[in-house]
């Protein structure tokens, strides 16, 4: 459900080009900078996970000395990295969609479906933010850590909550922009 035909905002955001308020443009611009920075950070986390794996494999098979807790480190860095991608991916409409079924619809009907999709996505993002927040509070209160190297689990949960909260805001912004596009 690519909104390129309807977009005039930064990086393909669904901000209509006609009648876009200055506040909307500034908000989308700020959101683009923030979400892009987090996506780059997510990429850095995945590169770190790759480096840990490489060093551990070389250490294990070359010297008989793997990185202690490599599975835990890779698991946490990958989880954090992936969560950091979510806001940017949705902000630039980068999620995979099946346009085959909607290709024959008019632009107005596709905008209606896109807006409905964004409403559902918003609800899901808010629910996930809420549940991850509950998990964060539980992990923080219990002091639960990884088994081998004792990394506090709440660290990863805090990044996940931040990312999901930002995703929720992106979703709300897309709903507002979608409703605005429907009114035109």
Q: Where are the domains of the chain?
A: 7-183
* Whole-angstrom distance, CA of residue 60 vs CA of residue 81: 25
Which range among 40-44, 101-105, 172-176 has the greatest average pLDDT?
A: 40-44
Summarize pLDDT for 110-156 with one digit per residue, the tens: 889 989 999 999 999 999 999 999 999 999 999 999 999 999 999 99
Q: What is the pLDDT of residue 7?
A: 45
Q: Which distant-in-sequence residues (6+ apart) come within 8 Å of 32 by Cβ?
A: 10, 11, 13, 91, 92
Mean pLDDT of the chain: 87
Closest listed residue to residue 35, CA positions, set 78, 83, 85: 85
pTM for the model: 0.84
3-state secondary structure of 70: helix
């Amino acid at each position: 459900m690519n909104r390129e035909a309807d977009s005039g905002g930064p990086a393909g955001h669904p901000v209509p080009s006609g009648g876009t308020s200055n506040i909307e443009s500034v908000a989308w611009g700020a959101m683009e900078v923030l979400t892009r920075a987090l996506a780059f950070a997510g990429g850095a986390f995945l590169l770190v996970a790759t480096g840990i794996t490489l060093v551990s494999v070389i250490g294990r098979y070359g010297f008989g000395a793997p990185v202690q807790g490599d599975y835990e480190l890779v698991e946490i860095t990958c989880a954090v990295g992936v969560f950091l991608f979510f806001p940017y991916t949705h902000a630039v409409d980068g999620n995979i969609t099946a346009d085959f079924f909607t290709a024959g619809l008019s632009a107005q009907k596709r905008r209606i479906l896109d807006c409905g999709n964004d409403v559902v996505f918003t609800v899901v993002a808010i629910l996930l933010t809420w549940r991850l927040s509950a998990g964060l509070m539980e992990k923080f209160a219990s002091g639960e850590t990884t088994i081998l190297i004792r990394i506090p689990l709440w660290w990863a949960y805090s990044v996940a909550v931040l990312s999901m909260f930002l995703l929720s805001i992106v979703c709300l912004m897309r709903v507002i922009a979608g409703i605005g596009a429907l009114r035109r």
